[in-house]
């Protein structure tokens, strides 16, 4: 199934993995958009898939704790009693890591298992995929 995806989002249906690499400011609009994409995929595919959020290309985060609390509780409620999934968050920025840990703590005890990583290799190992799948594509030097 091929759904139109927004920029910075890849979906690997063969391995059941959504990859999101936001650019610019990680804000409410960006988070709301990816939540919408995840919801559409969950509804249309009717099968589970893991998630990888690579925050290393974001310029920063314009979020707050109350908003993130609402996002986490919404996802927990919306996902319901479906089979367990993994969400790996790659965060080298302290703010992004803190929001990721908050999301992990608020989804604890649900089928949504969230972990924050500083190392892409460790995230790949935890997700059970090759690190190449999680690697950022290098721009074509001939087009530069």
Q: What is the pLDDT of residues 88-119, one digit of tens each?
A: 999 999 999 999 999 999 999 999 999 999 99
What integer pLDDT is reported at residue 80 of this predicted model?
Answer: 84
Smallest CA-to-CA distance from 1 within 34, 42, 36 is with 42
CA distance 28 to 12: 25
pLDDT in tens, 117-133: 999 999 999 999 999 99
- Say which DSSP state 135 is in: S
**Torsion (CA) 33, 34, 36, 37 in degrees, nearest 10:** 120
Compute the average pLDDT of residues 24-39. Answer: 93
Local structure of residue 131 (DSSP, 8 states): H
- pLDDT category, 1, cuts 50, 70, 90? low
Quote the pLDDT of residue 142.
37
The whole-number pLDDT of residue 141 equals: 39
Spatial separation of the C-alpha atoms in residues 108 and 111, rounded to whole Å? 8
Mean residue pLDDT across the chain:
90
68 with 99: CB under 8 angstroms?
Answer: yes
Tell the CATH topology of 9-128: Transcription Regulator spoIIAA (3.30.750)
DSSP conformation letters of 53-118: EEGGGEEEEE--HHHHHHHHHHHHHHHTTPPPEEEEEE--SHHHHHHHHHHHHHHTTSSEEEEEES
Domain parsing of the chain, residue ranges: 9-128
The overall pTM is greater than 0.85: yes
The residue among 85, 89, 121 whose CA lies nearest residue 102 is: 89
């Amino acid at each position: 199934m091929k759904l139109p995806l927004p920029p910075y989002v890849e979906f690997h249906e063969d391995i059941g993995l959504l990859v999101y690499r936001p650019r610019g400011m990680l804000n409410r609009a960006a988070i709301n958009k990816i939540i919408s994409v995840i919801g559409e995929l969950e509804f249309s595919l009717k099968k589970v898939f893991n998630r990888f959020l690579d925050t290393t290309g974001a310029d920063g985060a314009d979020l707050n704790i109350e908003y993130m609390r609402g996002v986490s509780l919404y996802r927990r409620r919306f996902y319901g009693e479906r089979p367990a999934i993994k969400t790996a968050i790659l965060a080298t920025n302290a703010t992004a890591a803190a929001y990721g840990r908050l999301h992990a703590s608020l989804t604890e005890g649900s089928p949504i298992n969230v972990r924050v990583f500083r190392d892409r290799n460790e995230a790949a190992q935890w997700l059970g995929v090759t690190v190449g799948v999680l690697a950022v594509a290098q721009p074509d030097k001939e087009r530069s």
